[in-house]
Amino acid sequence: MSDNGDAARQVFPIVIEKQPGWTVGEPPTRALEWALLFWLGIHVVALVATALLILPGAPGGPHDGAGRMAYLAQFPWLWRLGWLPWQLAALANLLLALALLRTRLIPKLPAALTLLATIAAIVPDQTGQALWDTRGIALAQAGNLPAYLAFEHQVFLLIGAWGSLLYTLAALGWTWCFVRAGLWWRWLTYYSIPLWAFFLLFSIAPFLAPQTGPVPTLIDAANGVGFVFLLFWVASVLEVLLCRSRPAQPHGREALWQHPNRRLAWALDVLGNSRVARRLCEFVPVVAFLSDIRDVLYVNYLVEAERLAWLVPPMLELQRLGPDDNLALLTFLSFRHGHFVPRLLGLLRKLLPSPVQTNWRVYVSDPRTGRKGVYFFSNAMNSTLHALAARLFSEGMPMHVLRRGSIDAEGDGVFHLHLDPGAGSAPDAEATLCVLGERPADGPWRACFESYEAMLAYCVPQDRALSFQPWYHRVTRQEITLGIPLEACEALEGEVRSRAAQALVGEATPFFFRVASVHFRFEREAYDSTAP
């Protein structure tokens, strides 16, 4: 295993484990995860509602007192609708506090005090909102400006001062809880100190500010900016939490992403490695994809099964071959897409690009269901947009980015494959392959297959990709349709050079074949539970 570990470090530039293999994370804290997700989502909606529906009637908004009163009187249901997300945000704060108290990782004392501070904040906050939605609208419709402005000042203190101050104390409780539980990164300390100081300052300001003038405008603007930074803080804590249950792996979708363009890497690497981004993308429905693929070049190796076993995630088994079941097949196939886009775009897909892709796979089975398929331990494209979308939205495609990728055909049946990862985390390969006049009668495949046709029958009809998500206790199946007739496969000969492949297969001899064209259809994503 140690030899394989040294070799595996050459496959991807970033490998965090001292030895290769799957690292199972801590059990997911599902209630806390969902509470943080709900908190993020509803506060984004609340900020949008504030800008569109609340600000025209709020102190510090674009209107004077008479204009604010007129807005409430004329549009009472828009005003109530604007406050609805903030009422749900109060629920989100309560659910988060309850989730902290319920989570075993979180010490009980800070969690209990955080819950008390949250309840204390909800009382003035929701009281003020309820009064503004009822009595405030009635006063506005009565048209008594002095009475309305006096009411407005009092209710603004309830929401913008008392509520904000107590919510800030609850946020300090969040910090205490996450730090004590070890769900923390050091830089969050330096981020949190000015953030909470900022909220404390502008929570106290309404007590000192006059009802009119520039101060309320400044408070509203500061709160809007502060909430944007607060969203990032909550997302960062959620990222820490997800990294505990979904630790980085030396291969597969949780392998670390490194973009080859180092000038862009500071942003792309954060997004490509973000557990939060991938978790949010799970809410997007899976859609069917189409592509008219050309020049599929298969590079295959028969390898000692034990050498590849570490690539297979838990709950899946490596398909073993040979008389003694001591061999297994590793394949990397590279091809050029033909307008790889969602099927729903119809004819518009002809306007979109056709990137080069390479898929690196081993052949696996699910012993619980008996289903067979392939496990992609790495994929790569020469299009950042396609690769990033696949990595974020597709469970079974651990996509990386090639600096350059090309498949060039010469007129005499010669094909040149070039996969250059640059400084990125994609695998590499260089190959020059030419078409044979007839299928060979002998080759490395003979160790496991009686004939060349038998080898093709095993290798080609792979219409299912399998992967494993222990945090959901499930195996994911990505069902595709290829429909490749075996007679369409052309035998190739040639040479291939690949540090990534050599690290995995050692001195195994490759064998090759080509499929000229494939109408690829990604049909659906399905799940098989592994829960006991």
102 token code pair: 């319920």
Give the per-residue pLDDT at 223. Answer: 77
Q: What is the pLDDT along the chain (532 residues), one digit of tens a residue?
A: 334 433 333 344 433 333 456 666 667 688 999 999 999 999 999 999 999 999 999 887 788 889 999 999 999 999 999 999 999 999 999 999 999 999 999 999 999 999 999 999 999 999 999 999 999 999 999 999 999 999 998 998 999 889 999 999 999 999 999 999 999 999 999 999 999 999 998 888 777 765 544 556 677 777 778 899 999 999 999 999 999 989 888 888 888 899 998 777 778 899 999 999 999 999 988 777 777 889 999 999 999 999 999 999 989 999 999 999 999 999 999 999 886 666 666 666 566 778 999 999 999 999 999 999 999 999 999 999 889 988 998 888 899 999 999 999 987 889 999 999 998 999 999 999 999 988 998 999 999 999 999 999 999 988 899 999 988 899 999 988 888 889 999 999 999 999 999 999 999 999 999 999 888 777 788 999 988 7
Q: Rounded to whole angstroms, how far apart are CA atoms 164 and 314?
A: 47
233 token code pair: 């803080």
Q: What is the pTM of this model?
A: 0.87
Give the per-residue pLDDT at 83. Answer: 96
From the list 355, 367, 362, the residue with the least C-alpha distance to 331 is 362
Q: Rounded to whole angstroms, how far apart are CA atoms 69 and 75?
A: 10
From the list 332, 433, 335, the residue with the least C-alpha distance to 382 is 335
Q: Which helix (H) or strand (E) holds 356?
A: strand 356-365
Q: Rounded to whole angstroms, how far apart are CA atoms 207 and 521?
A: 62
Q: Quick one: how far is CA 322 from the chain centroid?
A: 39
DSSP, res 443:
S
Q: Rounded to whole angstroms, how far apart are CA atoms 205 and 183?
A: 32
Mean pLDDT of the chain: 88
Give the per-residue pLDDT at 11. Answer: 43
Q: Rounded to whole angstroms, how far apart are CA atoms 142 and 164?
A: 30
In CATH, what is the architecture of 251-529?
Beta Barrel (2.40)
Place of tokens 């838990």: 314
Strands 474-481 and 414-420: unpaired
472 token code pair: 């959901």
324 token code pair: 């003694």
Domains of the chain, residue spans:
30-245, 251-529
Residue 226 Cα distances to 44, 230, 276, angstroms: 13, 6, 21
Contact 258, 370 (CB under 8 A): no
Give the per-residue pLDDT at 122. Answer: 97
Contact 21, 310 (CB under 8 A): yes
Return the SS3 of 496: strand
